[in-house]
A and B are shown apart, each in its own frame.
Chain A
Amino acid sequence: GAVVSQHPSRVICKSGTSVKIECRSLDFQATTMFWYRQFPKKSLMLMATSNEGSKATYEQGVEKDKFLINHASLTLSTLTVTSAHPEDSSFYICSARSIGGGADGNTIYFGEGSWLTVV
């Protein structure tokens, strides 16, 4: 199946600093990528939908100035957590929806997730 790579897989940062998480579709193009946050033993919470070449669409309650999303190309989206605080510590997952036809078209593939710890 298609591969979505997230980097870094684990990151520890100091409170007040910013941290960037990358999401790359390695062998397919994705005009749409999604960013989620997952708390322990909880489901995925969709944070925002990232569309290549345009502004991200944020879900209600998600601070767009704190969680900056950029989708600069058909294979890369980034999430930057600005002025991170301990309550931002979480597991962040991205997904990418493949474009085009064929068996893999419109399929959503997930990255491996990134653990963020803010100390």
Chain B
Amino acid sequence: AQSVTQPDIHITVSEGASLELRCNYSYGATPYLFWYVQSPGQGLQLLLKYFSGDTLVQGIKGFEAEFKRSQSSFNLRKPSVHWSDAAEYFCAAAGKSTFGDGTTLTVKP
């Protein structure tokens, strides 16, 4: 069955520190992969997506993600976190719109 796993439920980083949020997928073929961010009480905003081609994709708000087929991973990264990045982050795969359980990011001042 198709699945997306986000191993980290909650991550805390200091403002200005680097960030990596993990995402692993289980699919028969290479899926379309997405990362979304959700602020409290809001809908989901698309950060970036991977369909094919260059495995390092750039998104909005300074985020990037790298697709690694050998590890079935699509980890989200940001070199320097801002306090406004505190939110819930979801990794997703297209097809049946499969979502990970989300990772809550807390940013310490």
Give the interface residue-count category, chain A: 20 to 34
Asked whether A95 lies within 8 Å of B97 as measured between CB atoms, the reply is yes
Residues of chain A whose beta carbon lies under 8 Å from any beta carbon of chain B? 1, 4, 6, 34, 41, 43-44, 46, 49, 91, 93, 95, 97, 106-113, 115
How many A-B contacts are there with CB distance less than 8 Å? 52
Which residues in B have some Cβ–Cβ distance to A below 8 Å? Answer: 32, 34, 36, 41-46, 49, 51, 90, 92, 94, 96-97, 99-102, 104
Provide 20 A-B residue pairs closer than 8 Å at the C-beta atoms, listed in order of the A residue. A1-B46, A4-B43, A43-B99, A43-B102, A44-B44, A44-B102, A95-B44, A95-B97, A97-B97, A107-B34, A107-B94, A108-B46, A108-B94, A110-B44, A110-B45, A110-B46, A111-B43, A112-B42, A112-B43, A113-B43
Nearest-neighbour CB distance to chain B for A6, whole angstroms, equals: 7
Given A49-B97, A93-B43, CB of A108 within 8 Å of CB of B90: no
